[in-house]
């Protein structure tokens, strides 16, 4: 029986705070080139979205409407020194333009764009299910990490992280894992999780029971059936530093099995990291398991098409290190 090897939902996906009821008012003029100043003074205030970590400061949330246009905004309480970043609508829109391009193949799942910060580095971006709407996802980005030294949106780490986050949406959307209303309403109930896991004949994760043909289920069967027990023990370590040390040791004991050390965190991070290598690097020629994990994605024409669309979009122009080897998002704290 597949074990649940992922982190608890609230950690995976940035904090799942109640994303305020977003006003999905149409905003026809909000295309990518529309960099006019936002009128933040007229936006309603609301609590930080549930799902964004308590250690991150939410600045504002845009509803994402239609085929990825930005709609109504909700301002979140933020200290005065972050007001400039909160009100910098032109930068928000440039960040969204990059994210929308990278997420194009999965944009139908993304219903909110959250701008947050924890200062430079640490968490760069995350995705999480919108509270009360588990088939809808929020993409959250740290505005402090989105600009490179030239003031351009992008850069290797940030762009890499967006591709990584896209991998989570590919694996966890409701077409892959049908929404289980009971689980969605009681995400922290261990007895319910045990009950649902026992009733699931495929790979089980907090979001629910994967379809037989789901990416995570086939990825589990090919690469994780002998790893989940060791990984689950690591995930049970409460102390963050000790757990990160254990993940590093797990990677160093299995360097041919993971594309990065961060991939050794759990199957969802492994999937997102292998996906990122699939998108951003040439087809591997080796025969190590980490190469097989990248080659796995070439078996799915829909993913090959998504890769080609990203690479031909111009979204990668900020990735100066592309051909010299990628830096993984490893030491930064990172939720799904
Ligand atoms: Zn992740």
Distance CA 48, CA 61 (A): 8
Q: Which residue matches tokens 């309603």?
A: 44
Distance CA 140, CA 89 (A): 15
Q: What's the confidence (pLDDT) of residue 140?
A: 97
Instruction: Give residue 63 CA to ligand 1 midpoint distance, Å.
Output: 22
DSSP 168: H
Q: Which residue matches tokens 């979009």?
A: 313
Instruction: Give residue 268 CA to ligand 1 midpoint distance, Å.
Output: 7
Instruction: Give residue 242 CA to ligand 1 midpoint distance, Å.
Output: 19
Distance CA 281, CA 253 (A): 24
Rounded to two decimals, what is the model's pTM? 0.85
Please give the chain's pLDDT, 336 residues, in tens: 344 333 333 333 333 233 333 333 223 333 333 434 445 456 899 999 999 988 999 999 999 999 999 999 999 999 999 999 999 999 999 999 999 999 999 999 999 999 999 999 889 999 999 999 999 999 999 999 999 888 889 888 898 999 999 999 999 999 999 999 999 999 889 999 999 999 999 999 999 999 999 999 999 999 999 998 899 899 899 999 999 999 999 999 999 999 999 999 999 999 999 999 999 999 999 999 999 999 999 999 999 999 999 999 988 876 654 444 555 444 334 455
Instruction: Give residue 126 CA to ligand 1 midpoint distance, Å.
Output: 7
Q: Alpha carbon of 336 to those of 123, 128, 231: distances in Å? A: 10, 7, 16
**Which has the closest alpha carbon to 225: 265, 167, 195, 267?**
267
Q: Which residue matches tokens 């892959």?
A: 176
Instruction: Give residue 150 CA to ligand 1 midpoint distance, Å.
Output: 27
Instruction: Give residue 281 CA to ligand 1 midpoint distance, Å.
Output: 18
Sorted by where each begins, the domain ranges of the chain are 1-336
Instruction: Give residue 335 CA to ligand 1 midpoint distance, Å.
Output: 5
Q: Are 238 and 223 in contact (CB under 8 A)?
A: no
**Could you write out the DSSP letters of every residue in 280-307?**
HSPPP---SHHHHHHHHGGG-HHHHHHH
Instruction: Give residue 26 CA to ligand 1 midpoint distance, Å.
Output: 31
Distance CA 64, CA 87 (A): 18
**Which has the closest alpha carbon to 46: 145, 114, 136?**
114
């Amino acid at each position: 029986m597949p074990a649940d090897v992922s982190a608890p939902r609230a950690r995976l996906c940035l904090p799942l705070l109640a994303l305020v009821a977003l006003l999905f008012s149409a905003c026809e003029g909000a295309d990518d080139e529309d960099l006019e100043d936002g009128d933040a003074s007229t936006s309603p205030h609301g609590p930080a979205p549930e799902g964004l970590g308590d250690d991150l400061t939410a600045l504002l949330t845009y509803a994402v409407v239609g085929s990825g246009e930005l709609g109504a905004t909700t301002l979140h309480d933020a200290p005065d020194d972050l007001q400039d970043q909160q009100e910098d609508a032109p930068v928000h829109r440039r960040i969204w333009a990059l994210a929308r391009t990278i997420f194009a193949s999965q944009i139908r799942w993304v219903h909110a764009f959250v701008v947050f910060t924890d200062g430079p580095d640490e968490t760069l971006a995350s995705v999480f299910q919108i509270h009360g709407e588990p088939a809808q996802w929020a993409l959250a980005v740290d505005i402090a990490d989105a600009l490179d030294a030239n003031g351009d949106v992008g850069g290797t780490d940030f762009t890499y992280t967006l591709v990584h986050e896209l991998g989570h949406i590919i694996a966890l959307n409701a077409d892959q894992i049908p929404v289980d209303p009971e689980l969605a309403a009681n995400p922290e109930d261990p007895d319910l999780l045990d009950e649902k896991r026992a009733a699931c004949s495929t790979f089980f994760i907090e979001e629910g029971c994967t379809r037989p043909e789901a990416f995570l289920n086939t990825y589990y069967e090919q690469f994780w059936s002998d790893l989940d027990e060791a990984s689950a023990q690591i995930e049970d370590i409460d102390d963050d530093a000790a757990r990160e040390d254990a993940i590093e040791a797990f990677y160093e004991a299995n360097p041919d099995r993971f594309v990065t050390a961060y991939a050794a965190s759990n199957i969802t991070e492994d999937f997102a990291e292998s996906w990122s290598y699939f998108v951003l690097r040439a087809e591997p020629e080796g025969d190590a398991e980490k190469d097989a994990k990248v080659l796995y994605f070439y078996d799915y024409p829909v993913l090959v098409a998504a890769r080609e669309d990203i690479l031909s979009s111009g979204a990668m122009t900020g990735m100066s290190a592309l051909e010299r080897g990628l830096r993984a998002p490893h030491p930064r704290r990172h939720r799904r």
